[in-house]
Structure 1
């Protein structure tokens, strides 16, 4: 028996979930690398706050990479493990040489905008496949990311409004 037989999931319905998880894995790998670069390259005003925050964020992204890969394996998929392959399919693009905090935060917000949209679509695919565990995993990501977006937007606000 295959794992999906024990999970009461249909191969054909789960195929779309596996494809979307592979896409998300590639995107998170590039996102992780971008965050590492921001952490290393940040300079100027806000260095102490952002240097530590970027480290927290890349550690979180690394954990999500592992969770996504393990979920792929549970569903009978094969997670890619070559960065060259991630770069071929990732919609999140590599970024380097950013030392300005506000520019890094803008890039991170753009990435979250994409990731949140991709995760919402993945929830729909998972629900169609009756894959509650993947939907729940993505819902947890959304909860964390929506809060992070709120905090980054508050941090990047130029002036206080009255």
Structure 2
């Protein structure tokens, strides 16, 4: 079970890495009347993604595991896809919301694994990440006028 938890944590490392790059893409290429708002928001989000990436990787290391650390592995193991580079501004926001929902699902299942093995510290770490991206998803939905 602990090995399965480590595998899922590595999937999260990969996901945060892909998200970090994707959010940078959106930060650089967002256009239109919402440029200033979204340019700043995407910077906030990619800074948070890098902190989450580092926290999960360090958690793996502290438990005696080895976090995946190549782009090839990250693309193979990630729960989300990289940006296409062709997204419109609205598609960027919609995709970010969708990515956050996929990550929340992965965080939930990984928290369940952590609970099964009695690793409440990992569970707490992932719960904090869940709460943050849940709020971001809500705000982005509000930005688009979604309920």
Q: Smaller-chain TM-score range? A: over 0.9
1:80 Cα deviation after fit: 1.1
1:96-119 deviation per Cα after TM superposition (whole angstroms, max 9, x unaligned): 324532110001011011000000
**Runs (5+) with no aligned partner, structure 2:** none
Counterparts of 1:61-80 in structure 2, within 5 Å, are 61-80=49-68
Worse-superposed segment, 13-22 or 59-68: 13-22
Q: Does 1:133 align with 2:106?
A: no
Structure 2 residue matching 1:78: 3-state secondary structure? coil
| TM-score, scaled to structure 2 | 0.95
Which of the numbers 88, 98, 101 marks the counterpart of 1:113?
101
Kept after mapping to 1: 8 A contact 2:59/2:122: yes
The count of residues paired between Structure 1 and Structure 2 equals 147
Q: CA RMSD in A?
A: 1.4
1:95 to 83, 86, 94: 83
The residue correspondences of 1:42-81 to structure 2 (distance < 5 A) are 42-81=30-69
TM-score by length of 1: 0.87
Q: Where does residue 14 of structure 1 map in the other structure? A: 2
CA deviations over 1:46-83 (Å, ceiling 9, x no partner): 00000000000000000000001000001111011110
* Distance (whole Å) between structure 2 residues aligned to residue 69 and residue 156 of structure 1: 33
Q: Which runs of 4+ in 1 moved over 4 A?
A: none
